[in-house]
Amino acid sequence: MVIVPCGLRKRHGVEAVPAGALYLGTYHRLCQQAARRLTPLDNIRILSGLHGLLDLDTVIAPYEMRLGEPGSVTADTVHEQAAAQGLLDAKDVIVLAGRDYSRIVTTVFPHARTPLAGSRGIGEQQQRLARIAAVGVAALEAAESHPRSA
């Protein structure tokens, strides 16, 4: 399973769309491209600040909520959702997200792989994501074998 973050920039002027089409930002799109290279679509989840774990085809309306804001999802919420969705036993979990999202996911899935950890900033994260999207698992393994300290 690959978990990607939601994004601040969203499709507006619509009542509701599938979560996989809602987020328009470059970072989210790169995360989703990399995830699609690593696993089938039904194994990708978006971690939404408002809704928690979403399938790409879950229909939701645009919203404004960031992780960490009052009312946003917590690790406990995500744990409950993962249990309800039968995901807690997932053996291979990859988090393609920055620190805040990764922290929640690794609380729920302590064995989750975090190939963006140790990046010096969003630019380096985007480079890693682009490489994973282009090359796949080999780039993922390279990113994990050469992490920088944060």
pLDDT in tens, the chain (150 residues): 999 999 988 887 778 999 999 999 999 999 999 999 999 999 999 999 999 999 999 999 999 898 889 999 999 999 999 999 999 999 999 999 999 999 999 999 999 999 999 888 899 999 999 999 988 877 777 666 655 543
Under 8 Å between Cβ of 35 and 2:
yes
Amino acid 149: pLDDT: 40
Distance CA 111, CA 68 (A): 23
Amino acid 136: pLDDT: 83
- In the DSSP assignment, the letter for residue 149 is P
Residue from 72, 75, 32 nearest 55 by CA = 32
Amino acid 146: pLDDT: 57
pTM score: 0.91
- In the DSSP assignment, the letter for residue 146 is S
What is the H or E stretch that residue 122 is in? helix 122-135
Under 8 Å between Cβ of 105 and 122:
no
Instruction: Quickly list DSSP for 23-38.
Output: B--HHHHHHHHHHHHH
Amino acid 97: pLDDT: 95
Distance CA 7, CA 117 (A): 19
Domains parsed from the chain with CATH numbers: 2-145 (3.40.50)
Q: pLDDT tens for residues 12-28? A: 777 899 999 999 999 99
